[in-house]
Structure formats: structure tokens, C-alpha cells
Structure 1
Amino acid sequence: MSQPENEIVAAIDGSRRSVEAALWAAEEAQRHRAGLRILLINDDPARLDFAEQAVREATAACLDKAPDVQVADEVRPGHPVEALLRAEETARLLVLGSRGLGGFADALLGSVSTEVATRATGSVVVVRGDVEHSGGPVVVGLDDSPGIDNALHFAFEAAAVRGCELLAVQAWNEAALLAPPLPPAERDEAQLRIEQRAHQRLSGWTKRYPGLRAHAVAVRAHPVPALVDAADASPLLVVGHRGSGGFSGLLLGSVAAGVLHHARCPVAVIR
């Protein structure tokens, strides 16, 4: 079955966590007036009846959650990681649960979800933690890498459709700058300079979203705890595929994988 472009795809495996992710995806589709596809990748022909029942139940739950969303469902054969990566290529957004996925309910995050998020060429959300957060800002990791505008675009749009604020967090420390520890006066000066640059990076985006309150902070810390702490009450934490929080050029395997394991809210990984 062909998959329409610009469709949100929610990957499930019948586990509770994956259905929670599909419900999150249904609400996201409703916010963006997009279609939703419930997709189960089945790597065991003997489980076909279970797979078809699982997608029917998840589809019914999504329609109950977001009745105005056009929902399709599908079971595809194949290896979960490779098949999901192919599905992601034409999806507006791929949504995964933090556990399960691949036929092994309650399998630890680190297999399918992490591998798909780290290898995807587009936007992936891993739904973990408390998905019912309200009142907090959308948090985005800020850095100086050229591709950070993709993460900023996603984060601003996410904040706009939710009607909430946006907080950009730029983490830094001397080790990341390949510099020895700074004396207090120089450290304060570096902090101010980094924070000013972060505000400047946001200025163009705030003009595009004039009704959205957005601000930036610089945090002298490793980006993983800085971002996780900042997003404690956030509906969504957004990180880029590289850089993500002040360490320009740092591979996803460090920062984004770190927040995927420790964040207490859904995490969007943007290529």
C-alpha cells in the first residue's frame, strides 16, 4: 500500500506505550490538520492476526481521541528498523513509543526507537514520560550549527499550534570550547556573550511568529542535563541531529540519544 506524503505516521506494536504514542500522534495530526497512518511492521508471519487486531484497536482509539482526523492503518512485513526508515522518508513526522516497537513489548529503548531516531533523514518524535504536560514551554536545544534552523522551525511551529511559549537553551562549558576553566569574571563575560548570541539567533524567528513569546537562556552545563531539566514541565523537547545544545558538530549519539533516555516528555529529533 502506498503511503501519502505529508502524513503523520505512528508506529505501533500493540504495546501500551506504542498506543500512547499513536494517541499523541492523533492529537498532533489534529493540530496540523494532517492525515494519520497507524503502521505496524510485522517481522513474524505467525503474528499476522495479532498485528491486524492491534492496528484496528489503535485506529479506533485514535479516532475516539481525534474524530476529525483521517486515519488509515496498515500492517507491513519486514525488519522494523529498515521498514520504519523507509516509511519515514515520505512522512511529515514519524512518531514512536519509547518502549516496545518490533514485536517485543516492553523492550528497552535503545533498540528500534533509538536506532530509527538516530538514522532517520527527517523528523522523528519519541513519546516518553508524561504526555499530559500543560503550561510549560516547548524547549529547543540551541547551538551554532548550520542545521539548527530546522529544529527552530519545528519548535516554533510546535509552540504556535499549542499556544504556549518557547524556550531555547544553549548549553556550554569550557571543555566543549576546548578551553581551560575560566576565572569567574571571564566566565560571566562568556555567559553573557553566549546568551546574547542565542537571543540574536531567535530574533528572525520571533518576527515570523509575532504572537509567540520566545526567549533564550545560556546554561553552563552539559547539554543533556541542561535540556532535560529545562523541559521538566514541557509538552515537547526539540533537538537537532547534530550539535543540539552548544556542542557544534557533536554526533546525535551523544546529546540527542542522551535526552531520549532521560527526558520526561516527548522528544523530537530533527535532521
Structure 2
Amino acid sequence: MSGPSAVAGVDGSEQSVLAARWAAREADLRGLPLHLLLVNDDPARAPHCESALADATRACHEVAPELTVTAEITFGHPIEELVHISAHAPLLVVGSRGRGGFLDAVLGSVSSAVATHGECPVVVVRNPADTGPVVVGVDNSRGSRFALAFAFDAAARRATGLVAVQALPDAYFHPGPFPHPDRDELRDSADRHLAEQLAGWSEQYPDVPVSRAATNEHPVAALREAAEGAQLLVVGHRGRGGFTGMLLGSVASGVLHHSPCPVAVVRMDRTS
């Protein structure tokens, strides 16, 4: 692969073809070429690899006829090879489940591991849609600032709105049987704080309509609910990437397993 290309991991499964189609649209939106990578970890599958790549390439050109698509078959461990290529890619896309090394009951073992250890933003594709907002989780961390940058850019490229969700499960500002004297103040304060975090980004992306949601639900539940009907859900990841990086946070991991739409896991900048 020469030059910066978005990368999609494929394996011949239906989920990986969906991921390749999503990656083709995203690469086209970004003005990037797309590189399809099939990592074969079973010599018995070798005769099927070429046809699997050809099917994925055709699917990409159905989405973006003018897109430059390259394809590669390599032998090795899917997780290791995909994480390795993520060090040089602007974006890595995988399906939520797959065949062989990609197979798992809920979330593919490869998808989960690549989202945990990938050194670039990783998108795990499930139930892709072409309409709806981009949803982003905000939590005051440095990681969420990188997630906001990715989310605003994604919303701008799609000419759609952005929903920013900050879950404060200990805030207790929802109505309940025992009135809290500061409930309104808590809600107003949470909304103001969320607005402050978004202010600079809204100035940078004035054409992106922004909705704010400050809630005392559990973060995974709040993000899953907000992502119903969304095109993309974006979460931050504090790990350092590579195999020495931290494990994926519980919120990001929960969202990957339960999100109704594609999830982008965005870690801190490589230089952080």
C-alpha cells in the first residue's frame, strides 16, 4: 500500500462486505483511496480469498464508482496484521462479526481487539445507514476532545447534525419521589458545562446543527438510546494503541457490544 489510504479488513463474510461498503463511502467523503486487506489465517481458505476480495471490491465500486480501491491478501494473524497496518492508516474499518478469526457470538474477537489496540480511529460497522445524526459521547477527558474532533468532521462531511451526550449517572436531576432542592440547578449546570465543551467546535463547524443531552443514565444506556436512528456513534479511547496500550474502557466496550449503528473508537493522538 502506497500513500495514506483508508483500510477495510475483509474476510468474505456478509458483515465484512457491509464494512467494505461503509469504508468506501467514508473514503469517498474524505477524498482518500481505499485499501482492502484480507488476512488469511487458514491455508485451506486460500482458494476462496481472491473471490472474496473481488466481491468486496465490486461492492465498494457500487457505492463509489470513481473510488480508487486496492486489495491485498496476506497470511498471518488477523488481529496482529490489522493493528500493524493501523499505525500507518488514517482510518481502519471492520465488520462487527465475521468468518474464521472474525467470528464471535456478539462482537467479533478481531473487531473488539482491533478497536482496543488500533493506532488510528477504528470503525466497527453494524447496521449501517445513510441518514440520521452523528452521536458523540463527551466526558470532560482529553480522549473525548479527540472524539469530538472526529464527530464534528464526520457530521460536516455528511451534512447532518450532531448529538453530544454527557452521562452523569450521579447527578440525580431527573424527577423522582423525593424532591432534590438543587435538581434544576444541577441540570442547568450540566447543560452549561456541556455547551462550554462544544462551543469551540461549533464555531469551527457553524453548519453542523448541534443537540445536547446531559443525563444521569448509565453512559452505555444513554449512548445506545441516542444512537437509535444515527449514522455513526463516536466514543473516545484513552489507550495508547498497539499491543502495549490500555484495554478499552468499559463505556467504549459496552457501546461496541450494544450500539444499533456503526461505532467509531477514537483514541488520543499518536503523539499524546
Q: TM-score, normalised by structure 2?
A: 0.88
Distance in 2 of aligned mates of 1:62 and 1:153: 26
What's the offset of the Cα at 1:102?
Answer: 4.4
What's the offset of the Cα at 1:226?
Answer: 0.1
1:155 corresponds, among 127, 147, 151, to: 151
For each residue in 1:74-106, what CA deviation from the matched residue of structure 2 results, as whole angstroms up to 9, or x when unmatched?
A: 011111111110011111110000111545557
What's the offset of the Cα at 1:175?
Answer: 8.3
What's the offset of the Cα at 1:213?
Answer: 1.1
Distance in 2 of aligned mates of 1:161 and 1:52: 33
1:1-271 matches, cutoff 5 A: 3-100=1-98, 102-103=100-101, 108-129=106-127, 131-134=128-131, 136-174=132-170, 184-242=180-238, 252-271=248-267
User: CA 1:202 to 1:127, structure 2 compared with 1: closer, same or farther past 3 Å?
Assistant: same
Runs of at least 5 residues in structure 2 that lack an aligned partner in the other structure:
173-177, 240-245, 268-272
Match in the other structure for 2:242: none
146-155 or 69-78, larger mean C-alpha shift: 146-155
What's the offset of the Cα at 1:120?
Answer: 1.4
SS at 1:91 equivalent: coil
What's the offset of the Cα at 1:5?
Answer: 4.3
Question: RMSD of the alignment, in Å?
Answer: 2.1
Which 4+ stretches in 1 moved above 6 angstroms?
Answer: none
Aligned length: 256
SS at 1:67 equivalent: coil
5-14 or 159-168, larger mean C-alpha shift: 5-14
Distance in 2 of aligned mates of 1:82 and 1:127: 20
User: CA 1:6 to 1:184, structure 2 compared with 1: closer, same or farther past 3 Å?
Assistant: farther
Distance in 2 of aligned mates of 1:104 and 1:151: 26
What's the offset of the Cα at 1:107?
Answer: 5.5
SS at 2:23 equivalent: helix
* Equivalent pair of 1:102/1:112 in contact (CA under 8 Å): no
Runs of at least 5 residues in structure 1 that lack an aligned partner in the other structure:
177-181, 244-249
Distance in 2 of aligned mates of 1:119 and 1:106: 18
* Equivalent pair of 1:139/1:155 in contact (CA under 8 Å): yes
Distance in 1 of aligned mates of 2:101 and 2:201: 41
Distance in 1 of aligned mates of 2:3 and 2:259: 29
User: CA 1:75 to 1:149, structure 2 compared with 1: closer, same or farther past 3 Å?
Assistant: same
* Equivalent pair of 1:15/1:105 in contact (CA under 8 Å): no
SS at 2:224 equivalent: helix
| Percent identity (aligned) | 51
* Equivalent pair of 2:103/2:109 in contact (CA under 8 Å): no
